[in-house]
Amino acid sequence: MEPVHDIRLLLAILAPLIGAGLVMAAGKRPNLREACSFLAAVTLFGITVSLVPDIRAGRTLRFMVFDLLPGLSVSLRADALSMIFAVAASFLWIVTVFYSAGYMRGLKEHAQTRFNTCFALALFGAIGCAFSDNLLTLYLFYEIVSVTTYPLVAHHQDEEGYEGGKKYLVYLTATAKGLVLPAMVLIYVLNGNLDFAGNIRTGIIPPDVHRGIVTALYVCCLLGFAKNGIMPLHHWLPGAMVAPTPVSALLHAVAVVKVGVFSTVRVMLYVFGVERMDALNLGLPTAYFVSFTILGASIIALGKDNLKLRLAYSTVSQLSYVILGVALLTPAAIEGGLIHIANHAFSKITLFFCAGAIYVATHKKNISEMSGLGRAMPFTFGAFAIASLSMIGAPPVGGFISKWYLLLGALDAGSIGIMVVLVVSTLLNAAYFAPVVYQAFFGKPSEEDTHHGFKEAHPAMVVPISICAIISVVIGLYPDFFMQFARAVVP
């Protein structure tokens, strides 16, 4: 079907950008400032949802923003793949605005205007990535995300914050500049443009290019989008956990890391194409390569007592599910990988929100200190339990659907090895999440804690947590909303 030119795409990426400007202008008036964030988030979500009927009808929407040089442009596209990411990210931004207001005010954090401005700018980058029509646009917004999230990571402006921020920038910009940029230049030289293909089959690399070069380009893209957290280039993510929790929640569980996997997947499917990857035998080796990340990160997570760090390693592990699914190159596996972008987003943000709520209410960061807290904070830990189930992949929560399709896909691909990886990783997920929930509800609180009489955090935090947990279940019971997009990607 012919692409349709639609200005809503431009409006979608402008919403967070203008929002950032308004937040900055509102400055020291907190209520007005948060209202601006909220307004931008709602506008973005509204525009994104308004695109759904068109995408459902099988249309691809496009908008040319800047025509740079022949074959080189900044242009936007909305297709089924973009919708999975855009809908999840834009919805979760609304929830995070409330949560973040509760968190930042609860802790009386400094520089909240800068924080909110950068937050909106990061969303601008993320939505831009979701709606990129070509590799250049993707790279542009990818870099915008890197730069605008630095102030969020280094927010506390102490030694630890600067150290985390430095690591963050070094990993993300060095890989993007050192690997993605040259790959992009070479693809442009070989192909004459950088536009993504119209479907996932063919890709855009001309057929006569030597297989060695294609493989090198592929490896550059796989490792270059280091926001995808593939080991050994994952260290920035645990380092970034020094950021305030809303950042860890929306950015390091949803927006930033998903920008990484989304970009990787976009390039795998729409630059290299399933047929080319299959012909060059790139799929299965990639799947095995990311299996190391899936298992390795889970094993590291087992040993982390700091809740946010454990969640961070869990994220590293879960992100690779998406890439694993796509790398298997079978329809079911690709669908499973793609909906995991949304499923993981809703569940992981719940977990991070919980970690933040626990910190605001009790100032506790370590799992070993949370014994018995579940009785004092039933909503928070209840939500934590639900989201953990999703991570483990138990029905009826969203994660189950992803894992089901991934296993089906692995079966289709005839790869016993990958099935074993999925099963072992499920056990590992259970091993590092179940004790947290068990301790919280059935553990004995320390005398000091009993004395303190902890309560749930502010409703501005608990309500978003509950909403996200409920949605995690809803998309497990009714997976069709995201599944229809995943199916549309795989014709």
Partner 1 sequence: MTVPNHNDSFPILSVLIFSPLAAAVVTAAIRSENLLRWWTLLATTAIALFSLPLYGRFDCTTADFQFVEHASWIPALKINYSLGVDGISLLLVLLTTLIMPLCVLCSWRYIQTRAKEFMICLLIMETAMIGVFCALDFILFFVFWEAMLIPMALLIGIWGGPRRIYASLKFFIYTMSGSVLLLVAIIALHLKVGSFSIPDMMGRGFAPEFQCWIFLAFFISFAIKVPMFPFHTWLPAAHVEAPTAGSVLLASILLKMGTYGFLRFSLPITPHATHVFMPYILCLSVVAILYGGLTALAQNDLKKLVAYSSVSHMGFATLGIFALNMAGVEGAILQMINHGVTTGALFIIVGIIYERLHTRDLGEAAGLGKYMPVFAMFVGVFSLSSLAFPGTNSFIGEFLVLCGGFAVSKTMVVCAVPGVVIAAAYMLRMLQKVAWGGANNPDQSHLTDLNVREILTLTPLLVFVFWIGLQPQPFTRVMHASVQRLLEQVK
Binding flag, residue 305, partner 1 (CB under 8 A):
no
If the CB atoms of residues 13 and 284 are measured against partner 1, the closer one turns out to be 13
* Total Cβ atoms within 10 A of residue 285: 12
What's the closest the beta carbon of residue 118 comes to partner 1, in angstroms?
A: 12
If the CB atoms of residues 75 and 390 are measured against partner 1, the closer one turns out to be 75
Query: HEC string of 297-324?
Result: HHHHHHCCCEHHHHHHHHHHHHHHHHHH
**Stretch near partner 1 under the rule CB under 8 A, chosen from 69-77, 274-282, 322-330, 464-472:** 69-77
Q: How would DSSP label each residue in 402-442? A: HHHHHHHHHHHHT-HHHHHHHHHHHHHHHHHHHHHHHHHHH
Bridge partners, residue 72, by sequence: 69
Helices (H), 268-306: 274-279, 283-302
What's the closest the beta carbon of residue 135 comes to partner 1, in angstroms?
A: 11
* 367: Cβ contacts below 8 Å, ≥ 6 apart: 305, 306, 307, 310, 435, 436, 439
Among 18, 52, 72, 408, binds partner 1 (CB under 8 A): 72
If the CB atoms of residues 53 and 70 are measured against partner 1, the closer one turns out to be 70
The count of C-alpha atoms lying within 13 angstroms of the C-alpha of 266, restricted to the half-sphere facing its C-beta, is 32
Among 157, 281, 368, 446, binds partner 1 (CB under 8 A): 157
| Integer Cα distance of 428 and 433 in angstroms | 9
Binding flag, residue 188, partner 1 (CB under 8 A):
yes
What's the closest the beta carbon of residue 121 comes to partner 1, in angstroms?
A: 12
Among 186, 302, 460, 463, binds partner 1 (CB under 8 A): 186
What's the closest the beta carbon of residue 137 comes to partner 1, in angstroms?
A: 9
Closest by CA to 266, choosing from 395, 465, 396, 130, is 130
For 159, list phi and psi in degrees, rounded to 5.
-55, -45
Binding mask 73-112 for partner 1 (x = CB under 8 A): -x--------------------------------------
Binding flag, residue 140, partner 1 (CB under 8 A):
yes
| CB 286, CB 294: distance < 8 Å | no
| Integer Cα distance of 364 and 377 in angstroms | 13
If the CB atoms of residues 150 and 218 are measured against partner 1, the closer one turns out to be 150
What's the closest the beta carbon of residue 153 comes to partner 1, in angstroms?
A: 12
If the CB atoms of residues 135 and 311 are measured against partner 1, the closer one turns out to be 135
Binding flag, residue 162, partner 1 (CB under 8 A):
yes
| Integer Cα distance of 398 and 343 in angstroms | 5
Q: Which tokens belong to 486? A: 């995943």
Binding flag, residue 174, partner 1 (CB under 8 A):
yes
If the CB atoms of residues 223 and 383 are measured against partner 1, the closer one turns out to be 223
If the CB atoms of residues 218 and 400 are measured against partner 1, the closer one turns out to be 218
Q: Which tokens belong to 145? A: 């995300």
If the CB atoms of residues 45 and 141 are measured against partner 1, the closer one turns out to be 141
Binding flag, residue 126, partner 1 (CB under 8 A):
no
Start-to-end C-alpha separation, the chain = 13
* 46: Cβ contacts below 8 Å, ≥ 6 apart: none
Q: Which residues bind partner 1 (CB under 8 A)?
A: 66-69, 72, 74, 136, 139-140, 143-144, 147, 150-151, 154, 157-159, 162, 165-166, 169-170, 173-174, 177-178, 181-182, 185-186, 188-189
